[in-house]
Structure 1
């Protein structure tokens, strides 16, 4: 079975992802900590300090900080920093000091409503516990110390007793899935099968018990409680909860060999990627419940496409690569789509500001519509923020960027190495080493040097129509296979191209998007005379690549037409407009130069 490579055994050395990781190290992790400190999240862990009047800890603050801690630990594995580690240690000190005698820890319920532990399924207790467990595992990977993981084992033991053994809580499964996948990580780290049993129990009970049904009488699909997990075949409800649940389901199917669970995971993946995913990898097409809707209901202007959902999809696909190895290349394609589009769009180019939602179309005028409503549930914000009241996305990026190496390659016990993502990096164990040199995604050129490797497998991306290699190879399951390799040079052709949408996707009817390799591009008003909605793109675009200086990736221009504005709102269609060049930038770089209109899908003009 393919195994992930430890973060201590692989490092990105240069290129695109080195720049992103440097940004995360220098700006993002410190900035998110500062925002969490200013908002009271960090201080809430010190129970000796009263919280401000009328500002008690929120029910999900534990999870926000825990994700930051996890990301900080991944960062520290590669870049020791006494000051950063001190912040992590201080938080662990507080958790250890204020953990209840029976193992319980929760900022809100211990400090605000201690008499209501485990009485509200929707109040994130188990969700917060899960993220703290993941942070504890990351700390263990960093230090080898069992200090934090022992604290969380005590908490997990309490949860096991209350939920699985005594069934004394007011509900049986979490309202927000997360603890399931965290318990698998606890099991792998501690080898204690108690945590495996508890993870499987939560999965088995979901959508399969009367206690939760009584507590949640309506809209059970919102948190995937409408059916037992083996019977779920369509992605429904809150997109982040869904991807976290599906990740745990895939992990469970790997551990247990449960074929029905495997089939459910494959069907859920296909439902998402074939019918409910934006071209950017965005998931969740409505702000109402931050949820999946109907097949092919993918509006661009009001897309929700939460950053956390794209992070969750990476987790799901990573486990699917192990569960369904014959189709691993397809799952890696989806990870690639998420990494370069759905996730990176969620963070500003300078690493300090974020999008919670990632629509595929912005109109500056929509900002004024939001002011006339009491809910921000119609048009996404056009400006990035340093923090949100519900600030789950920034720390999710904090933990994804420093750990992106784990998605690059896997290995088998027989010294077989599989490369799934392209990055300038080096992986090394006592038995083998692999060095990959590339400027991807600027170009598709990749050079791989191996020592002690018996078999090298390299994914051929789905977007690649042709490639060149100087080494004898064969293709298996859309991967190039090299036996006893020493040096392998590859060049994946990655010209800009037009892509269309399924005709059932009504919002994209008669439109095309521009992609280059895995990257989706967009047109912003600032580059197009503030008239992107007057532009149509030619079927013969004659793409030209521009400078990489501003975004680290080439810009693109294409032939198009600019329709004239006038006094008649509905003139006869007599011509296509005047010829023009449409200027496009990588989608992940959108809205970094001030508020401006933006569009991914352009009408086809000829």
Structure 2
């Protein structure tokens, strides 16, 4: 199925409303199980690791040089803030006094240590107070943004506004320094995030000042060359430094996804949110261009983005290496955020398709089966032998086993907040039509709209929906789905099957195993194919098939069997060939023999849960 881009010039109004997670209760199924794992295990595991590494202690402002406390890092505020936001989402649906007490303790530290002027930062207040708002790349506004998002989430979850009051004071101080006085050493943040946070502050409080601030930071980006302190000057031209954080030109003129991939996604989602709030067609058009460049030229089949470790950046179109793929977990999360906000501008199923691709593959691959380990990077190929070869000049390769905490531990709390707010992505509404964007057994109850969805997706493709308080139900038909059945008359609109809401609607999606080819401009995937079933990307691991996976090949029309897997999703066994040299010499005039065999495939999101092993998403085509 081909999904077409809608022309924004033909639209004059903002469209889809997406329902906030608090209105949606997940009830069963694969993602529900992941959400429960997050609630029962992950949120506390991340808390424990952050406690061990001094992150929570730093909020007490008790570090002294030469003392026994760990020195705060300039992005620790954001690590804790994302954890607090995720905890707030959990508390909005679950009574957990111990978890609530942990959040309240951090809030008390913030209240106690916030400056009289409203400023709050655990690094600059304690370590370098004379350098406040002087260094664009030291994440002050980024940290402020994450604290604001956490404060909004906690206010919504528990009705406690102390944290929100603190962040309103901080936002007011930022307004004074950056907009009224213009006394800061820079104009826009080096790491975007506060832009979207301010829009959330506006939506929650109704105070237009925060929307004005978000617009200021978005409008001013790229309007001038921002200075970099000499000690932090990157070994690139000023223009390249600006490209790294999307400051190389005004945002409304941008067409290419460039620079640090997470920063880019956080900017783009804020641009889309601002376009929605202000009906800004020019900004919406820029979002469409950036979206198209990202997903048609720079996205891995797993929904990962940002292909190089150098700056955690995008590179050029179709440069998607597999073994050195960076594909940061936070970047896949950011892509889902961007797509979600684009759905607020345009009710097109392609955005929900990308949310699905990212969530089930590039996000969950960063999350271990036991709920305690994480990947920062998510490669699509691992060859263990390379890690022990050529020690003097070997290329940089991602780690092969998940860990519980990183020095830069942005991904674990991001997993916490995404898994605890999955309800955000399920439903949407516009003009009498309820949109079913993601397939998760769930119940919706808001503004007189009731809906119950029952499914075991993506284990099966059967989805049942019963809705009240709406005229129509629009069920997304994924782009990967070639055929489907619906028990009612329907029309297809922008990738959705639209049905009258006068009955229980049952949709059956064809979940056949599919062969996938990359665009021929992706050099690293030439002559190779990958396997998908529904939205799930599969991979081969050495633990099942032996290492040296490059010796295997499969034909485009391979035979296969689907069976119950050990990771909560089906596993696939495909008919394959394994190349065997006909003699023992290094080079031969005799072609290798291709012997019939079988190749076991598991969901990509579950690789590296059984120890180190070779792994490959892309398999040679026979």
For the aligned pair, the TM-score class normalised by the smaller chain equals over 0.9
| Deviation for aligned residue 1:464 | 0.6
The whole-number CA distance in structure 1 between the counterparts of 2:391 and 2:180 is 50
SS at match of 2:44: helix
Match of 1:221 in 2: 243
**8 A contact 1:12–1:424 mirrored in 2:** yes
Residue of structure 2 aligned with 1:278, choices 300, 312, 316: 300
Cα distance in structure 2, aligned partners of 1:50 and 1:415: 60
DSSP-derived class of the 2:284 partner? helix
Aligned counterparts, 1:142-221, within 5 A: 142-212=157-227, 217-219=238-240, 220-221=242-243
Counterpart-to-counterpart distance in 2, 1:256 and 1:576 = 64
Closer, same or farther: CA 571–28 of 1 in aligned 2, 3 Å: farther
Deviation >6 Å, runs of 4+: 213-216
Instruction: Tell me the residue number matched to 1:91.
Output: 106
Alignment check: 8 A CA contact 1:16 1:441 kept: yes
TM (norm. structure 2) is 0.94
1:411, 1:257 → 2: CA distance? 18
**Which residue matches 1:141?**
156
For 2:7, the equivalent position in structure 1 comes to none
| Correspondence for 2:580 | 564
Larger relative contact order (CA 8 Å, sep ≥ 6): 2
Query: In structure 2, what is the equivalent of residue 365 of structure 1?
Result: 385
CA distance in 2, matches of 1:150, 1:576: 71
Residue 528 of structure 1: CA displacement? Answer: 0.5
Task: Show structure 2 runs of 5+ residues with no match.
Answer: 1-14
Q: Which residue of 1 aligns with 2:11?
A: none
| 1:29-178 pair list within 5 angstroms | 29-48=43-62, 50=64, 52=67, 55-178=70-193
Aligned-partner Cα distance in 1 for 2:301–2:590: 30
Alignment match of 2:255 (pick from 224, 230, 233): 233
1:305 aligns with 2:327: yes
- Encode CA deviations 1:496-548: one digit per residue, 9 max, x unaligned: 11100111100000000000111100000011022312111122211210213
- How do 1:245-256 and structure 2 match up within 5 A? 245-256=267-278
CA contact (8 A) 1:451 1:486 kept: no
| Change in CA separation of 1:204 and 1:214 when aligned onto 2, cut-off 3 Å | farther
8 Å Cα contact 1:540-1:559 kept in structure 2: no
Residues 1:112 and 1:472: Cα distance change in structure 2 (over 3 Å): same
The answer to whether residue 311 in structure 2 is matched with residue 289 in structure 1 is yes
Aligned CA distance change for structure 1 residues 309 and 235 (closer, same or farther; 3 Å): same
Cα 1:371–1:147, aligned 2, differ >3 Å: closer, same or farther? Answer: farther
Please report how far the alpha carbon of residue 54 of structure 1 lies from its aligned counterpart in structure 2 after TM superposition: 8.3
Aligned to 1:386: 404
Moved more, 252-261 or 224-233: 252-261
Q: Distance in 1 between matches of 2:100 and 2:391?
A: 42
How many Å separate the matches in 1 of 2:195 and 2:333?
16
Summarize deviations over 1:283-327 as a string: whole Å, max 9, x none: 0010000000010010001000000001111111111111123xx
Match for residue 574 of structure 1? Answer: 591
Could you tell me how far 1:567 is from its partner in structure 2?
3.0
Cα deviation per residue 1:522-578 (whole Å; 9 max; x = unaligned)? 000011022312111122211210213x11111001111111156323333535510
How far is 1:24 from its partner? 0.4
Unmatched 5+ stretches in structure 1: none
Aligned partners of 2:192 and 2:266 also within 8 Å: yes
Query: Aligned partners of 2:244, 2:196: CA distance in 1, in Å?
Result: 19
